Every structure is written in structure tokens, then in C-alpha cells.
Chains A and B, each alone.
Chain A
Amino acid sequence: MDDMRSIVQQIEAAGTEGVQVCPQGGGSKAFLRSSEDARIVSTSAHTGTLHYYPDELVIRVRAGTRLTDLQEEVAHQGQFLPFDPPHLGVESTVGGVVAAGLGGSARPFWGGIRDYVLGVKVVLPTGQVAVFGGDVMKNVAGYDVSRLMVGSMGSLGLILELALKVLPAPEATRVFTLPMSPADAIRTIQLHRGRPGLSAAVFFKNVLYLRFSGTHQQLAQAENRLAGAINTDSDEVVRKIQNLEFPVQHHLWRWDASQAEPIECSELIAFDWGGRLRWLDSHLAPSIATSSGVLTCFKPGQGELPARSMRTDTVGWIQERLKFALDPQSRFISYPSFRVST
């Protein structure tokens, strides 16, 4: 269903009234926003596939299309979305997924959302509609605004449409279960890096799960190398960790660390991305060395939230200038920084 007219009208009306706009899809990631007093403009009625050419590996959908519907549609053609984002609720929409920019477990192996976005149609903070990128793989006309929208958290405009690159789905999947300590897990992952078909390396409760997705031959090779390990053709356990379906006592913290950063940390409950994305459960800001990487309070639990800090380096300065350049009157919400240290 085409709901563009209503969306644009809502944005224009908010502009006239001087109320800030907060774009939203299904609202499954609403916890990522700062609690600003902004008017929600929802894309959830702006749905449907505009075109899908499996043999060109391109699909264009309206932003309110549910992620599950999109994944089902491409699966029918033997294809998939390689960025395979976390599902944080059934109501999750494609526009919301792209605006939040969260990568799934395959992120280090197959790339992130930004690697598969080819084009966008957006409503700018002025209420004007603009189109960037296109439906083609190679396109270097103008700055890459399509990819700038990925992870911009609705602060630069409202995404109306997306053209995405899809790929042929792997022939098969196999998940290997390897009980071990976090430090051993990191060493084991290093042994398998670069091996054909590795598509996830996640850790939860002293178990490392390695997922291989690819041709039957690739999986057979993986089985030879990991002889003796329990394995299954269901990747449900990997998905549960990717989708954060585990109990958290306090606030859920996200630590984006470099590979070299020691993994030992008492608050660690899980890691993904081969150790680069670490999930911590803590009431206070976890006591970790943040000499590299970024610590963010990802999902608040009960109790007081720790103070946030904006990044103060040149990158932070440019981010603010970009936001001001594209939305000088702050008609849209600001980028919600959850960073607690740099």
C-alpha cells in the first residue's frame, strides 16, 4: 500500500507546528532512541514490493514492508539478504532495519546492511522527497546518500523506499557446538577465519557456536576439520543470540571492540561477530578497558541510566555538521548517542 502522501503531509504538518519528527517503522527498536518529545511518523502502512528481479539480484520495497515478509519473498526465489539483520520483533520493518543499521551474526563474513543498499527514496526534513542511488550495482553519481542513511537512526530523513542487493542463498547450513572458555573461543575462531562458508561465530554461556553456510562440499570440509563436534543443520541457537533472546538482569551493554582486545570481563554474557561485538549485563557502566572500541548502553533495563557522552573528536564534529547541514532547523530527531566513553 502506498502511504507516501500521508507521510509527507504528517511531516509538513509537524514542520508547521514546530514539532520534531521521529520516523518509525514497526517500533521494535524504539528502545534505541533517546526519549525526546517528538511526534512519531510511522511508515508501517507504506508497504509492498515495487519490483523484484531475481536474476538481477535486486529488490525494491517500500520501507514499511515487514522484514519477515521481505525475507520470505526472496527465499521463494532461492535468494537471501546476506546482511541478515537481528529480528528484534515480528513488527520489524525494512526501513527500520536500515535506519538502525544493526548487522546480524554474518556481519564480519558477508558484510553489513550498508553493503547491500543500492538506493533510497527519502522524505527530507524539509518535507521534500528525494531519490539517491538506484537499482543498479554500480553507481557513482553524486555522494552516496543511500548508504549515509544506513544507521542514521531517522535523524537525516524518513526512508520511503529501498533498493537492496540480494544473493543466491547458500545450499545448506550447519552449526557446530564447541564448549569452551571465552579466551579459547577467540583462539578457535582465529583458526577458522577465512575458511570458506564461515558465516557466524557467536558465544553464549561457555559455548562457541560456529555456523557454516555454503555448498555441500564446503560444509563437508568444515565437518572434517571439526570432527567430533556436535552439529546440526538448524541455526536457531545462533539466531537466538543474534536476536538478543537471552535474559538480561540489568542494562544490556554493547561493546564494539577490536579483535585484539582481551575478552575476559565479568559482565560478559555473550559475544557475536567472532568476538568483535560483546554483550555485557551490568547495572553500572562495565569496568572494561575501552582503549579501543565503543561502549554503549544498548538496551536499558530497570534502574537509573548512566550518563551518556557525545563523541568529541573530529568525527563527532563532522557528524554534527552533517546533521545541521541536512536539517538546519532540527525538524527531525537528533542522532541518539548511547556511547558512555570513547
Chain B
Amino acid sequence: MIPKAFLKRLRNLPDIDLIEDLSRLKVYESDGLTALAVVPPAVVLPHNRIALEAVLSLCHEQLVPMVIRGAGTGLSGGATPLANGLLISLAKFNRILEIDASGFKARVEPGVTNLAISQAVEGLGLFYAPDPSSQIACSIGGNVAENSGGVHCLKYGLTLHNVCGLKVLLADGRLLHLDDDQLWSDGFDLLALLHGSEGMLGVIVEVTVNLLPIPDAVTVLMAGFDSTEAAAHAVSAVIAEGVLPAGLEMMDRLAIQAAEDFVAAGYPRDADALLLCELDGALDDIEGMVNRVSSVLQGSGAKSLARADDAASRARLWQGRKAAFPAVGRLAPDYYCMDGTIPRRHLAKVLAAIAERSTHYGLRVANVFHAGDGNLHPLILYDVNAEGELKRAEAFGADILQICLAHGGTITGEHGVGLEKIDQMCVQFSEVELGVFHAIKAAFDPQGLLNPGKAVPTLNRCAEFGAMHVHHGQTRHPELPRF
């Protein structure tokens, strides 16, 4: 609950939309982690920065906790509302403020969608590189807060590598302006620190992104393999060849079959593993690259090899990968998506360990994998209505994260910690390391008003286990491609 006196003052602030009736509040009860739903006591949509500053100042003065929400597509509960806090939506901050084509930059408000940036500069021959699969819906502010990835990270980097300036409001409403043109930081690199800070340190109100020239030529290669081991070996061989693909994705047998049944992308049904390799560059360069990579793939035991050069056939090959999640979702009433990263050399061992756990729990698992950078998305299939299956799926998921950690990996590659993995943080980090995180939080937000309870566990909470599960595909906006 929120103090009545606070709400009364909030109602009097200019230039805001305030939502207080239950039916409209329900819209905001969760982000992409729909299993965790909390109807917020109130939602505010400030119209501009001055109004947002006033809201923050009031919350700060009255010690009312805040959760900042972008597009609400996050998958780890970073924007799950608080029962005793105000949900602040930045949906109205949706303007592209400036496009500097000669400087290869764009300055935008945080609510602008990821894809809208690339669309706005396409006519200038430019694009914004990071492309999380939810890019038609997710907002750039949320991308910064989560340090979002996508399928093109291997070559083009994460959000962090493609943002050169931020304006951030601190919990008390003060403005932190981190250079729009930053190549060197006088003092600590706060721009880096804000990336992936999950709404805990400040409210992002403006983002300056770097733009890149659209490559002249793009080709997608698709190779089928007899085993995931052979496919993993092929990934290493491609990189050892000295070629840096724009994207390098792997799917296992169950994921291939499900995708093919769902969208008929033309995948080889008899393959145990599939690689999609996107190459881009100058017209003069592409053919040489394609030839080199094709022979590496064949030399690594590819049983089938296909290429797509024009946009339509490339899109068809990608469609199966992008639709892998809803496709797998058709195989069972529920699935639970994991997001671990491992050093790729351990892939075969990790997949074997996951398969062993799959047998142990009696639950099927499909694997899709950002193979180039080791980011694994196992999908555990279960039925929430079958006695004990949810519990087993959650235990299986916890085991997978432990397997990733045991092989030198991490509990989250790109979805963030949020509420979902807050307990696994206790496994990945020591008390000393968690202490550093708490100290950083306190430096920015001494009252702990921004997104309390997320991302970093308190030392005495390291016990429970939270989970994402998607029941009968009832995720918010199921039509959106994800992951």
C-alpha cells in the first residue's frame, strides 16, 4: 500500500497520467516474467522530464519505493511491481530527439523501441546494431537497464558497446549527465556501470546510441550436423578461421523439429544439430568469406549446407530460429526458459549434463543457443497441471544454472537477474562480492527506493528459488519473437 497523503499530492502534480483503478492497473501487474504478478497500487506516466523529476522528488521525500518500467518485455521480473510502491512507466518518453548522421549517433528518449531507431535511420544507410529478439516492442531504456544482447552480439557487441551517452535521474530527482560523446571517462566509468543495473541505480531519461553503416552484403549459411558436439566443433573452427560472423546460432534436434513443424523454414529434419551463420561485409569481401566458412563447415562434418543471399530467403531461415520458443511451446502445455552462459568448449559436457538431468526429472528439454558467444537457452517442457511437474521443472532449472556455474559460466547471459534469479546470485557471488554490489547501490540510492528487492539479494535471503514458467503460452504478447 501507498500512503494516502502521498497519493493525494501525486494527483496534484501537473503533466502526468495517474492510473488508480484496478482494471487498468492489472495491465501493469507483470513484465515478461508473467509468473510473478503484483497489481501495483498506482501507476504514473509522466509526460516529460520535469514531471518525472517531480514524481521522483515526491517519492524521495515521502520514502515511497519506485519501480521503473519501459516496455515491460523483460524476462526476469526486473519491472515486476511492488505492493507498496509506485510503478513509473516511461511509455510517453518515445521521441527520437536528434539524428546526427555525420556523427553516426542518435539521441533518443528511453521509451523509443529498439527497432524504431534502426527504422528512423535506415534511409541514411545506417542502423543500430544490438537486436534483442523482442526488438519490435522492447524500449532502448530497458535495453540499457538490462544490457540487452541479441543474435548479433558476437560481432557488434551488447548494448553497452553501442551506447555513448546517457542522461539519468537519481532517486532524488537530480540529473546525472554522462557524456554524449564519451571516448574516455574523467573518473569512474559510470556509463558502463549503468548498463545492466536493472533500474537499481537511476532512471534513464535519455540515451545516445552509436549508429553503423548498413553492410553492403549479407549471407546466411545453414548447416546440419549429426551431433551437437560436431556443431560446437564447427563453431570453434569458424572462429579459428579468423572470420567473425555477424550471428552464429545453434539449435538441437527437438528445437529443429519443433521449429520446422511450426513455420516450415526448410530445416533438415534428420539433423541432430543445426547452425545458422550470418556473414556480412563489403560486396567485394562477402564471397570470399562465404567460401571460407562453407569449407570450414563441410570440413567439420556438416551433412547439409544451404545459403541464402536475398532478404526474403534469409528471413525464412531466421524465422525458424526466431520462432523456436513458440514452436517449442506447442510441444507441452508449459515451458520454462533458462538463460545461462558457458565457455563454449564445455558445450558438449554441459548438454550431456542437461540431458542427464532431463532423464532424471522425466522432463524434456529443447536447446537453442547463441553459439558464437556461449549463451544457452534451454527450454524445459512441463505441464503445470500434472502433479509435481512445476516443482520438478524448477529444480531442473536450478540444476542447469548450477551446471553453467560449475563450468565457469554465469547464471544470466542477457535476461538479467531481476526477481527470477535472485537466489542464484548467492551461488555465483560470495558475501564479499555481494557486499560490493550493495555498496554501489547505496552510493547511488542511499534510501534504497529504486527497485528494492531486485537484482542483488540481501545476505539473509539466499535461500528460496524463483522461477519463470509460461503456462499454455500465456506470456504477455505471445506474438512477439523473444530471446
Interface flag for A128 (CB, 8 Å): yes
B284 and A124 contact, CB distance less than 8 A: no
0/1 string, B125-169, CB within 8 A of A gives 1? 000000000000000000000110100011001101100000000
A148 and B439 contact, CB distance less than 8 A: no
Chain A residues lying within 8 Å of B189, measured Cβ to Cβ, are: 101, 114, 147-148, 150-152
Interface flag for A215 (CB, 8 Å): yes
Interface flag for A318 (CB, 8 Å): yes
0/1 string, B174-185, CB within 8 A of A gives 1? 111110010111
What's the minimum C-beta distance from B102 to chain A, rounded to whole angstroms? 6
Interface flag for A276 (CB, 8 Å): yes
Chain B residues lying within 8 Å of A319, measured Cβ to Cβ, are: 187-188, 190
Residues of B362-378 at the interface with A, using a CB-CB cut-off of 8 Å, are 370, 373-375
Interface flag for B186 (CB, 8 Å): yes
CA distance A180 to B376 in the complex (A): 52
CA distance A140 to B375 in the complex (A): 11
What's the minimum C-beta distance from A84 to chain B, rounded to whole angstroms? 14
CA distance A258 to B158 in the complex (A): 24
0/1 string, B245-282, CB within 8 A of A gives 1? 00000000000000000000000000000000000011
CA distance A8 to B307 in the complex (A): 55
B410 and A141 contact, CB distance less than 8 A: yes
Our pick among A56, A152, A316, A322 for the contact of B443 (Cβ within 8 Å) is A322
B410 and A139 contact, CB distance less than 8 A: yes
Our pick among B186, B284, B432 for the contact of A128 (Cβ within 8 Å) is B432
| Nearest 8 pairs of A and B residues by beta carbon | A147-B192, A138-B413, A137-B373, A55-B236, A168-B242, A325-B439, A325-B443, A217-B284
What's the minimum C-beta distance from B266 to chain A, rounded to whole angstroms? 28
Q: Can you list 9 A-B pairs, Cβ within 8 angstroms, ordered by A? A: A55-B344, A56-B236, A112-B184, A138-B414, A140-B416, A141-B411, A152-B188, A194-B213, A321-B444
Chain A residues lying within 8 Å of B411, measured Cβ to Cβ, are: 141
Our pick among B183, B212, B374 for the contact of A277 (Cβ within 8 Å) is B183
B412 and A130 contact, CB distance less than 8 A: no
Our pick among B184, B187, B433 for the contact of A311 (Cβ within 8 Å) is B187
B442 and A325 contact, CB distance less than 8 A: yes
Nearest neighbor of A292 in chain B, beta-carbon distance: B181
Our pick among B282, B370, B409 for the contact of A134 (Cβ within 8 Å) is B409
Given contacts A103-B183, A142-B429, A147-B192, contact A136 B177 (CB under 8 A): no
CA distance A187 to B235 in the complex (A): 42
Given contacts A168-B242, A273-B183, A315-B190, contact A132 B443 (CB under 8 A): no
Count A/B pairs, Cβ under 8 Å: 233
Chain A residues lying within 8 Å of B424, measured Cβ to Cβ, are: 141
CA distance A132 to B103 in the complex (A): 34
Our pick among A101, A131, A339 for the contact of B433 (Cβ within 8 Å) is A131
Chain B residues lying within 8 Å of A112, measured Cβ to Cβ, are: 183-184
Given contacts A53-B343, A142-B429, contact A318 B436 (CB under 8 A): no
B186 and A294 contact, CB distance less than 8 A: yes
CA distance A8 to B183 in the complex (A): 33
What's the minimum C-beta distance from A187 to chain B, rounded to whole angstroms? 11
Interface flag for A4 (CB, 8 Å): no
Residues of A238-278 at the interface with B, using a CB-CB cut-off of 8 Å, are 256, 258-259, 273, 276-277
A326 and B439 contact, CB distance less than 8 A: yes
Interface flag for A196 (CB, 8 Å): yes
CA distance A170 to B86 in the complex (A): 51
What's the minimum C-beta distance from B188 to chain A, rounded to whole angstroms? 5
Chain A residues lying within 8 Å of B415, measured Cβ to Cβ, are: 140
Given contacts A56-B344, A136-B373, A314-B176, contact A143 B193 (CB under 8 A): yes
Residues of A72-125 at the interface with B, using a CB-CB cut-off of 8 Å, are 78, 101-103, 107-108, 111-112, 114-115, 124
Residues of B197-249 at the interface with A, using a CB-CB cut-off of 8 Å, are 197, 201, 212-213, 236-237, 239-240, 242-244
B192 and A144 contact, CB distance less than 8 A: yes
Chain A positions near chain B (C-beta within 8 angstroms): 53-58, 78, 101-103, 107-108, 111-112, 114-115, 124, 126, 128-132, 134-145, 147-148, 150-152, 156, 167-169, 190, 193-194, 196, 215, 217-218, 220-221, 256, 258-259, 273, 276-277, 292, 294, 296, 311, 313-316, 318-319, 321-326, 335, 337, 339
B412 and A141 contact, CB distance less than 8 A: yes
Chain B residues lying within 8 Å of A221, measured Cβ to Cβ, are: 282, 284
Given contacts A294-B186, A314-B177, contact A143 B437 (CB under 8 A): yes
Q: Identify the interface centre among B160, B181, B197, B425: most chain A CB within 10 Å of its CB.
A: B181
Chain B positions near chain A (C-beta within 8 angstroms): 102-104, 146-147, 149, 153-154, 157-158, 160-161, 170, 174-178, 181, 183-190, 192-193, 195-197, 201, 212-213, 236-237, 239-240, 242-244, 281-282, 284-285, 288, 341-345, 370, 373-375, 408-417, 421, 424-425, 428-430, 432-433, 436-437, 439-444, 455-456
CA distance A69 to B409 in the complex (A): 27
A114 and B187 contact, CB distance less than 8 A: no
Nearest neighbor of B102 in chain A, beta-carbon distance: A190
Chain B residues lying within 8 Å of A156, measured Cβ to Cβ, are: 188
Our pick among B197, B243, B341, B417 for the contact of A137 (Cβ within 8 Å) is B341
B186 and A339 contact, CB distance less than 8 A: yes
What's the minimum C-beta distance from A338 to chain B, rounded to whole angstroms? 9
Q: Identify the interface centre among B177, B185, B373, B375: most chain A CB within 10 Å of its CB.
A: B185
CA distance A42 to B409 in the complex (A): 30
A138 and B192 contact, CB distance less than 8 A: no
CA distance A167 to B240 in the complex (A): 10
Our pick among B103, B343, B421 for the contact of A135 (Cβ within 8 Å) is B343
What's the minimum C-beta distance from B171 to chain A, rounded to whole angstroms? 12
CA distance A150 to B192 in the complex (A): 10
Chain A residues lying within 8 Å of B341, measured Cβ to Cβ, are: 134, 136-139
Chain A residues lying within 8 Å of B374, measured Cβ to Cβ, are: 56, 136-138
A56 and B345 contact, CB distance less than 8 A: yes
CA distance A325 to B435 in the complex (A): 10
What's the minimum C-beta distance from A262 to chain B, rounded to whole angstroms? 15
CA distance A53 to B342 in the complex (A): 13
CA distance A150 to B213 in the complex (A): 29
Nearest neighbor of A57 in chain B, beta-carbon distance: B239
Nearest neighbor of B175 in chain A, beta-carbon distance: A314
Nearest neighbor of A140 in chain B, beta-carbon distance: B196
A124 and B436 contact, CB distance less than 8 A: yes
A55 and B237 contact, CB distance less than 8 A: yes
B186 and A296 contact, CB distance less than 8 A: yes
What's the minimum C-beta distance from B250 to chain A, rounded to whole angstroms? 15
Chain B residues lying within 8 Å of A321, measured Cβ to Cβ, are: 443-444
CA distance A148 to B436 in the complex (A): 12
Given contacts A114-B192, A135-B408, A147-B192, contact A314 B345 (CB under 8 A): no
What's the minimum C-beta distance from A131 to chain B, rounded to whole angstroms? 7
Given contacts A137-B153, A138-B375, contact A148 B432 (CB under 8 A): no
CA distance A111 to B288 in the complex (A): 26
What's the minimum C-beta distance from A284 to chain B, rounded to whole angstroms? 21
Nearest neighbor of A58 in chain B, beta-carbon distance: B343
What's the minimum C-beta distance from B201 to chain A, rounded to whole angstroms? 8
Given contacts A134-B408, A135-B408, A167-B244, contact A115 B161 (CB under 8 A): yes
Chain A residues lying within 8 Å of B441, measured Cβ to Cβ, are: 143
CA distance A315 to B444 in the complex (A): 11
Nearest neighbor of B105 in chain A, beta-carbon distance: A259
Chain B residues lying within 8 Å of A325, measured Cβ to Cβ, are: 439-440, 442-443
What's the minimum C-beta distance from B124 to chain A, rounded to whole angstroms? 11
CA distance A280 to B443 in the complex (A): 36
